[in-house]
């Protein structure tokens, strides 16, 4: 379903390269396994994606591709996702909050954190699991989010929704040039699909959170 008819490189970040299955790919597609370190806490694995994307962007993505689409690994493409998503910088509405009022967004609300957003600010609540854009834009976003998390750690604070909180803060003050609907990120276990969403393009795969997280 993903970018059919276009050249695609799948960069897989993993601490277990040997476990990446070999998948037959159509012409013009390649899979690149990037070995990264592990972290004991799932929150750290999730947050350090910002650092990994930042580093690999500078080292290779800038020279290898035009756009980056950064997605969670525990989801699958289930309908057409094509070049309609591309723009210099894009984010996706979190499916749990696209109808919520601004004051109910689960932004980081403690001013001590670098991810802090005051109650009277904020455009949307973006999902951590689907963002992207031109490599240079994603490099700036991921570098800023990683730096913010380094500062938080030094100050003994961790944002309520980890990398997602920092993504939200970044996209508030660096407006995206495109915002994708929750059709591009959905969880059928958590949410009932409203009838006006006719297709779901990228959906969570059921997993045992307790087992994986602890």
Question: In angstroms, what CA-CA distances link 162 with 33, 67, 165, 195?
Answer: 25, 24, 6, 32
CA 193-207-69 angle, 5° bins: 70
Residues 29-68 touching ligand UD2, rule: CB under 6 A, are 42, 45-46
164 is in an annotated binding site: yes
**Cβ of 118: how many Cβ atoms within 10 Å?**
9
**Cβ-closest position to ligand UD2:** 128
Residues 6 or more apart in contact with residue 159 via CB below 8 angstroms: 108, 113, 114, 115, 149, 152, 165, 166
State yes or no: 138 annotated in a binding site. Answer: no
Residue at shortest CB range from Mn ion: 72
Burial of 62 from C-beta contacts in 10 A (0-12 / 13-18 / 19+): middle
Burial class (CB in 10 A: 0-12, 13-18, 19+), 15: exposed
Under the binding rule (CB under 6 A), the answer on residue 164 touching ligand UD2 is: yes
By CB under 6 A, tell whether 185 contacts ligand UD2.
Answer: yes
79 is in an annotated binding site: no
Q: DSSP state, 59?
A: I
Of 161, 168, 183, 203, which one interacts with ligand UD2 (CB under 6 A)? 161
162 contributes a contact to ligand UD2 by CB under 6 A: yes
Cβ nearer to ligand UD2, comparing 19 with 27: 19
Diameter of the chain measured on Cα atoms: 50
Q: Which of residues 114-143 bind ligand UD2 (CB under 6 A)?
A: 127-129
Q: Are 187 and 97 in contact (CB under 8 A)?
A: no
Interface contacts to Mn ion, rule CB under 5 A:
72, 74
Pick the closer one to ligand UD2 by CB: 25 or 73.
73
The span of 72-80, 111-119, 149-157, 192-200 binding ligand UD2 (CB under 6 A) equals: 72-80
Q: Name the catalytic one among 51, 108, 137, 164.
A: 164
**Looking at beta carbons only, is 128 or 134 nearer to ligand UD2?**
128
Q: Is 164 a catalytic site residue?
A: yes
**Cβ pair 181, 188 in contact under 8 A:** no
73/77 Cα distance (integer angstroms): 11
Q: Rounded to the nearest whole angstrom, what is the least distance from the CB of residue 133 to ligand UD2 in the complex? A: 16
The set of catalytic residues is 164
Q: Please give the annotated binding residues for UDP-N-acetyl-alpha-D-galactosamine, written as ranges.
A: 72-74
Please give the residue ranges that form the binding site for ligand UD2 (CB under 6 A): 42, 45-46, 72-74, 127-129, 161-164, 185
């Amino acid at each position: 379903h993903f970018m059919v008819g276009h050249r695609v490189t799948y960069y897989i970040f993993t601490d277990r390269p040997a476990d990446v299955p070999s998948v037959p790919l159509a012409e013009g597609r390649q899979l690149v396994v990037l070995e990264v370190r592990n972290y004991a806490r799932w929150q750290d694995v999730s947050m350090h994606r910002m650092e990994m994307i930042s580093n690999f962007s500078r080292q290779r993505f800038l020279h290898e591709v035009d756009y980056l689409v950064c997605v969670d690994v525990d989801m699958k493409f289930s309908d057409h996702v094509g070049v309609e998503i591309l723009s210099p910088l894009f984010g996706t509405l979190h499916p749990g909050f696209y109808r919520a009022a601004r004051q109910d967004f689960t932004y980081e609300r403690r001013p001590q954190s670098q991810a802090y957003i005051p109650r009277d600010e904020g455009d949307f609540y973006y999902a951590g699991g689907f963002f992207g854009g031109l490599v240079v834009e994603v490099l700036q976003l991921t570098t800023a989010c990683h730096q913010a998390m380094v500062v938080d750690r030094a100050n003994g604070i961790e944002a309520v929704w980890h990398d997602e909180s920092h993504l939200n803060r970044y996209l508030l003050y660096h407006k995206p040039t495109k915002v994708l609907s929750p059709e591009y990120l959905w969880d059928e276990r958590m949410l009932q699909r409203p009838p006006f969403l006719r297709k779901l393009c990228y959906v969570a795969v059921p997993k045992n959170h307790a087992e994986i997280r602890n």
